[in-house]
Structures are given as C-alpha cells and as structure tokens.
Amino acid sequence: MKTFNLAILITLTIINISCRKEHSIGTSKLAAASYTNVAYGSDPLQNMDVFLPEGRAVTTTKVIVLIHGGAWSSGDKTDMVQVVDSFKKRFPDYAIFNINYRLSANPANLFPTQENDTRAAMEFIYSKKTEYLISDKWALIGVSAGGHLAMLQGYKYNSPVIPKAIVSLSGPSDLTDMYQNPAGGSPLISALLISIVGKSPAQDPQLYFNSSPVNFITATSPPTLLLYGDVDPLVTPQQAMFVKDKLQAAGVANQNVLYVGSAHVDTWSNAVFNDAFQKIDIFLNAHVL
C-alpha cells in the first residue's frame, strides 16, 4: 500500500511540474520583432519598416504610422530613422510602421497616388492585425507632405480604422490656398503644386478640393496636434489655422503649437524637436486610449 501511495505521489508531482512549465511557457512575453522593406504593393516604393514591441497583443498594443515628407516628390522612410528611434524609447509599447509611397517625381505617379498609397499601406497593416498582434488604437504622424497625407487619411476615410489621434508637423492642409497664397508670395510654390498634381486649381478645382484635408473635417474627426514654424517659407502658419478653426467649430479636440522663429520642420533646432516630441508624448497619452 505504501509503495502504491508513493507511486501516486511521484506521478502527481511530475504532472504538477509539467503543468507549471507549460503555464510558464504560455505566459512568457512575446519578443520584440522588426522587419524592413515589407511590401504592401507591387511597386518597389510601396514598402514599409515594421517595429513590433515586446509582449504585444491585439487588445492592447497601440500603433503609430509614420509618414515622411519631401514635397510628395522626394524623401524616403529612412529620413525618419531618428524619429523611429525616439518614438521607440518614448512609446515602448507601441507598434511602429514607417511607410514609403510612390513619388510624384515620376510623371506616372502624380497626386493622388501618394494619398492612395497611404490608404493602401493602412489597409495592409490592418489586414495583418492578428499576425502583428496590434489593436485598433492608431495614431498617424506625418512630417511636411507626410503631415498632409496623415490628415487627409484621418479626416477623409473611416476605414480601415479611424485614428485616435493625428499629428502634423508642418503639413499643408488646403492645397488651393497654398497655390493661391503661397508662402512669401513665391510663384515657385504654385509651380511645385502644378508639378505634383498635374494641373492648377482653375483647371481642376475638384481635384484640389479632394486633396485638401481641411475640407473633410467633421465632428467625428480624430483629435489633432499641429506643430508648425511661424516663419516657414514653404507652409504658412495659416495652413494650421485652417485646421484648428474647423476642428474647433466641429468640437474636436486639438492643439496648435507655433514655434516662434522656426522655419520648416526639416530646419528645426534640437530644442524645438525635443519640445515637439514632448508635446506628441502628452497628446498621444491623452487621446490614444
């Protein structure tokens, strides 16, 4: 009888140890992962870099989509490497997607190619939601032309997901006004818009209307943080005010920060960038819930 009881005790001990090991394995944190040049389309420029945090889950892992600038005609996601590094430190629990898009320098890729690519990238990311283990809590952050694309995506479309927040750093919001009232009265800015869109507002007013984020702001638009320089020779502070005023009228949370003595985002000092990152940190913590 004692031998039988000892055998049972040994068996139960082995089972208990085995169960605890399985439980330990099952609850261990998923390791962080990163993937470069992940294709979301057939063109070589339709790709993104993916940075997934440790311990991610579809119910909790928030998302930042980064969109580079370059006047819709140049630039690359590699321009955002330092931003990615800063955000990984500030937002260690976020998944970060740093996207590329086709550039209007190629005549076959005039606007709205960049708008369409941004939306395609968003749809691709969302289609990988269960694979990447990410939630519906997204923030879109764009620099210059990327700020324009972030606002256009966030205000114009309610799929594949409605962002919880948008951040625009020096992003144009009204292309018709940008053409008609360019910064400093420079005709070069108006000419640049024609080279990007292919036409003037007089030739195709609907295209300019459809390409301007400010025209799609409603009461359900995402909260927006606007970060601009007050002596920007490319994008006037008025472009931010158009958005702020319309968001205010619609009752949407927003913050407009104007950096005195600062020009376009690519020339900002370290002190201005540090302040901008701090404000982004606070804004996302308040709205991406």
Predicted confidence (pLDDT) per residue in 52-81, tens digit: 999 999 999 999 999 999 999 999 999 999
Quick check: 280 and 225 in contact, CB under 8 A?
yes
Question: Does position 2 have pLDDT exceeding 60, yes or no?
Answer: no
Rounded-to-5 percentages of helix, strand, coil across the chain: 45, 15, 35
Contacts 24+ apart (CB under 8 A), 8-11: none
pLDDT value at residue 4: 39
Quick check: 40 and 120 in contact, CB under 8 A?
yes
**Per-residue confidence at 29, pLDDT binned at 50, 70, 90?**
confident
- The packing angle between helices 113-127 and 145-156, to 10°, is 60
Q: What is the mean pLDDT of residues 210-223?
A: 98
Question: Does position 124 have pLDDT exceeding 60, yes or no?
Answer: yes
Q: How many of the other CB atoms lie within 10 Å of CB of 27?
A: 7
What distance in Å separates the CA atoms of residue 234 and residue 73, rounded to the nearest whole number?
A: 15
Q: Which tens digits make up the pLDDT trace of 227-269?
A: 999 999 999 999 999 999 999 999 999 999 999 999 999 999 9
> What are the φ/ψ torsions at residue 139 (nearest 5 degrees)?
-125, 135
How far from 185 is each of 38, 169, 208, 212, 215, CA to CA, in Å?
41, 22, 19, 20, 23
What distance in Å separates the CA atoms of residue 194 and residue 187, rounded to the nearest whole number?
A: 11
What distance in Å separates the CA atoms of residue 281 and residue 118, rounded to the nearest whole number?
A: 23
pTM above 0.85, yes or no: yes
Is residue 63 helix, strand or coil?
A: strand
**Per-residue confidence at 126, pLDDT binned at 50, 70, 90?**
very high
Q: What are 261's two structure tokens?
A: 């003595």
